[in-house]
Amino acid sequence: MSEEKKYTDSGIEINKVYDTHAASYSPMNEKPGEAPFTRGIQPDMYRGKLWTMRQYAGFSTAEESNKRYHYLLSQGVSGLSVAFDLPTQIGYDSDHPLAEGEVGKVGVAIDSIEDMQLLFNGIKLENVSTSMTINATGYILLALYVALAKKQGANLDKISGTIQNDILKEYAARGTYIYPPKPSMRIITDIFEWCSRELPKWNTISISGYHIREAGSTAVQEIAFTLSNGKAYVKAALEKGLDINVFGKRLSFFFNAHNNLFEEVAKFRAARRMWTHIMKELGATDPKAMMLRFHTQTGGSTLTAQQPLNNISRVTIQTLAAVLGGTQSLHTNGYDEALSLPTEEAARIALRTQQIVAFESGVPDSADPLAGSYMVESLTNEVEAAAWKLIEKIDAMGGSVAAIEQGFIQNEIARSAYEYQRAIENQNKIIVGVNKFQVDNEEKIPVLKIDDSIRQIQTERLATLRQQRDPAKTDQLLQALIDRATTGENLMPAVIEAVEHKCTLGEIAGTLREVYGEYK
């Protein structure tokens, strides 16, 4: 009787035993901190400094989110991560008809500089690193953050953080786009250019594999599509005449961590090696501009509504994958997130999971502790080889933008998602508590409820703001934005001036809709 074969979630066959004879095994010669950075970007990795522990949070009003941030900072987070509601993400103020039913639901509602002040009340922006998960309106949120920093009297040279700002994966996997791809790419390169002059410590983009994976891709597809998108952003910046050795150092990535521990570790290691190769090919000569630095979030799509406390174990495995894989920062999901936004208790347990791995497990005591494992080295090579095949296909189509316009990336993700779901349904893939080991009586878990009255609060705030500002100045500033969008001048100075004078997010996004149109 032939033995049943085992595969990773990307379909890579797993050997019964790995040794020097494994077909894909090759011994490692490089050290951590050396290009191509397979073994990590620092020679001592976490012995020098632990990864940044972020907890992604934002819901309801700016005041409510601010309370959660102060709570998380008191519990030991070392960086903030802001979630915005859907209207903010797609460029509508809270009083817009299309915002109804969505204000403050999946994140915080931010309409103006006044909301931004409330969001960071009592928090010095110079002393905290802030990551903002925002794409189509990333340029406006960055402008609001800069305007608030200036109001606080901060030195812009010291302001650090990241805007996600990755629009290509929105067309491919997530859907919160506004403008067509070409003007969207132009806004992104404007941000690169402006930040390289004015905000030197800011990460201008977080090229995201996270949402590609959440949409149903495999680990191999996650890095192939993400690195292809990264390549497209670099090429767009080069066409604008920017210096790859300058803007290359401010690119960061955002990956998912799933449950297949060894494939996930291999994925992170392979991605670093591949990005070094890509950046070298595109003309980078400074090793720091070839380094793939990344944030990780544990897999939202792996969380189950059934037996939700099991999710604590899943998140622990995923935390280990991220740390063993060499992440620079990490967000761990709450066990209740298949049911609602995380409660305070769930957010605390998620943070404690990171702290237990950091201070009790011994995992951070050595750089790249799984290096030299026959299995991990073999898988790193196999994940890399499979990802290059996909990148070559995308290159042959003319790159990521063309591959998205032709529907190739979307179709590949949809096919993988369908195959994964079928494997669960026919029990080839076991999900504990879902298709095996179920219980009859599920324990009731308390969930976080968001009040519908938030839209009313935001609407009243907007009405007051519009009454208090100078309407002629508002029109003048929005016209200046149209002028810059038409002439091709950098948009960022005009957007910052507009938010400083109380123009709203919806007004700025809407003004550019008039110039660029909407992507359908």
For the chain, give the percent of residues with pLDDT over 70: 100
Measure the CA–CA gap between 487 and 183, rounded to whole angstroms. 13
CA distances to 61, 189, 331, 412, 502 from 143, in Å: 20, 15, 25, 36, 12
User: pLDDT category, 3, cuts 50, 70, 90?
Assistant: confident
Q: What are phi and psi of 373, to 5 degrees?
A: -65, 125
> pTM for the full model?
0.94
pLDDT at 422: 97
User: pLDDT category, 340, cuts 50, 70, 90?
Assistant: confident
Measure the CA–CA gap between 394 and 228, rounded to whole angstroms. 7
- Return the DSSP state at 29: -
Q: At 508, which amino acid appears? A: I
pLDDT above 70 (res 1): no
* Across 227-253, average pLDDT: 96
- Pull the structure tokens for residue 494: 């005009």
pLDDT at 441: 85
pLDDT above 90 (res 55): no
pLDDT at 60: 83
Measure the CA–CA gap between 121 and 92, rounded to whole angstroms. 24
CA distances to 186, 282, 368 from 196, in Å: 16, 19, 32
pLDDT above 60 (res 267): yes
User: pLDDT category, 79, cuts 50, 70, 90?
Assistant: confident
pLDDT above 60 (res 11): yes
* Across 471-494, average pLDDT: 97
Angle 369-375-381 from CA coordinates, rounded to 5°? 95
pLDDT above 60 (res 468): yes
* Across 208-216, average pLDDT: 97
Calculate the average pLDDT of the chain: 95
Length of the chain: 520
Q: What sign does the dihedral 500-503-507-513 (CA atoms) show? A: negative
* Across 48-71, average pLDDT: 88
CA distances to 125, 175, 461 from 94, in Å: 25, 19, 10
CA distances to 169, 174, 260 from 215, in Å: 10, 7, 17
pLDDT above 80 (res 450): no
Residues of the chain by 3-state class (helix, strand, coil), percent to 5? 50, 10, 40
The arrangement of strands across the sheet holding 329-331 comes to 202-203, 161-163, 130-133, 79-83, 52-57, 329-331, 294-298, 251-257, 205-208
Task: Give the 3-state secondary structure of 143-157.
Answer: HHHHHHHHHCCCCHH
Q: What are phi and psi of 156, to 5 degrees?
A: -60, -25
Residue with the two structure tokens 């003319």: 398
Q: Which residues lie closer than 8 Å to 434 by C-beta, 6 or more apart?
A: 304, 306, 424
pLDDT at 44: 97
pLDDT per residue over 367-413, tens digit each? 999 999 999 999 999 999 999 999 999 999 999 999 999 999 999 99
Tell me the three state secondary structure of residue 327.
coil
CA distances to 145, 220, 519 from 148, in Å: 5, 40, 31
User: pLDDT category, 446, cuts 50, 70, 90?
Assistant: confident
User: pLDDT category, 263, cuts 50, 70, 90?
Assistant: very high
Burial call 232-245: b when 16+ CB within 10 Å, e when fewer: bbbbbbeebebebb
- Pull the structure tokens for residue 31: 């050290």
pLDDT at 150: 97
